[in-house]
């Protein structure tokens, strides 16, 4: 249990580093600011995607629990040296609760990259990892 207390303390510190206005919630501007300062080459359109995936209650902000759950997924992906596209897939599949991504979720993912499509325009009803990566990778070139 001591490890959990330590992990909680670490998570609180990380959360506070994003929570610039100390509101106890993280919004889009706070994530964008953090990423711009710490990861200047990070594509900012991915911020909207991360919020969509992490924001379980749909209020447009990320609370501490949502942040902790999502951070673990991203951290695990980074620890295995996955590239950004794979991190996007991993985060999306965890949020979707499946290795297959529905076309409804794919429409939302693409919208975060400024691509507006309907699910009827997509090639598949569900996207496996290969199909997902192929569809999204064109926006990271």
Range of the domain at 9: 2-140
Confidence of residue 78 (pLDDT cuts 50, 70, 90): low
Q: What is the CATH number of the domain that holds 42?
A: 1.10.238.10
CA 137 to chain centroid:
16
Q: What distance in Å separates the CA atoms of residue 39 and residue 102, rounded to the nearest whole number?
A: 30
* Separation of alpha carbons 141 and 138, rounded Å: 6
- The percent of residues above 70 in pLDDT, for the chain, comes to 87
Q: What's the confidence (pLDDT) of residue 4?
A: 52
Per-residue pLDDT tens over the stretch 16-56: 999 999 999 999 899 889 888 877 777 777 788 888 888 88
**Number of domains composing the chain:** 1
Element (H, E) at 101: strand 101-102
């Amino acid at each position: 249990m001591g490890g959990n207390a330590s992990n909680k303390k670490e998570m609180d510190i990380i959360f506070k580093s994003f929570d610039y206005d100390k509101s106890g919630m993280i919004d889009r501007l706070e994530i964008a600011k953090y990423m711009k300062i710490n990861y200047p080459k990070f594509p900012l359109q991915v911020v909207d995607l991360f919020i969509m995936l992490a924001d379980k209650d749909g209020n447009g902000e990320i609370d501490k629990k949502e942040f902790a759950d999502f951070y673990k997924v991203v951290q695990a992906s980074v620890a295995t040296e996955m590239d950004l596209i794979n991190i996007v897939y991993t985060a999306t599949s965890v949020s979707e609760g499946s290795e297959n991504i529905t076309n409804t979720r794919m429409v939302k993912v693409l919208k975060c990259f400024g691509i507006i499509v309907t699910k009827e325009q997509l090639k598949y009803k569900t996207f496996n990892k290969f199909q997902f990566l192929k569809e999204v990778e064109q926006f990271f070139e």
